[in-house]
Amino acid sequence: MQIIRKARRQPAIYWKLIGFDEEAEPMYEPPVDDLLVRWDDIMEIYVTPSGEERTSRAQVMVDRDMPMGSVLMLGTMENVIHPDEPLHEDHPGAFTIRGWKKHPTMKATHFLRIAIM
């Protein structure tokens, strides 16, 4: 839907969670930097898949489904100092996806996807 595409104008970097190593540390695909998002720094209570209430740090409108545990950061690759470590302390704006909303359009041909951080 055109209005959803037009709302996403901010560049972001995305690290897709692909699993965990033998020490239970998360493993990510190399960062993707061709994303345009709408990033809202908003604190809002949401419910995790396990039923816990948490407070979000941001909600981000994205163009694709993203697995929980993946990482998003507002900005471009110029802002990335450690591409293999998305949650490094040098990336203070990188957040783990903790929740998810997906709403279909009236005809269910497109979706509004919101990652909750």
Q: What is the CATH number of domain 2-116?
A: 2.40.10
Helix then strand count (H, E) for the chain reads 1, 11
Distance of CA 62 to the CA centre of its chain: 7
Q: Measured between alpha carbons, how far is residue 7 from residues 16, 40, 67 in Å?
A: 23, 11, 22
pLDDT tens for 68-112 read 999 999 999 998 999 999 999 999 999 999 998 999 888 888 888
Please say whether the beta carbons of 60 and 39 come within 8 A: yes
| pTM reported for the whole predicted model | 0.89
State the pLDDT at residue 105.
Answer: 82
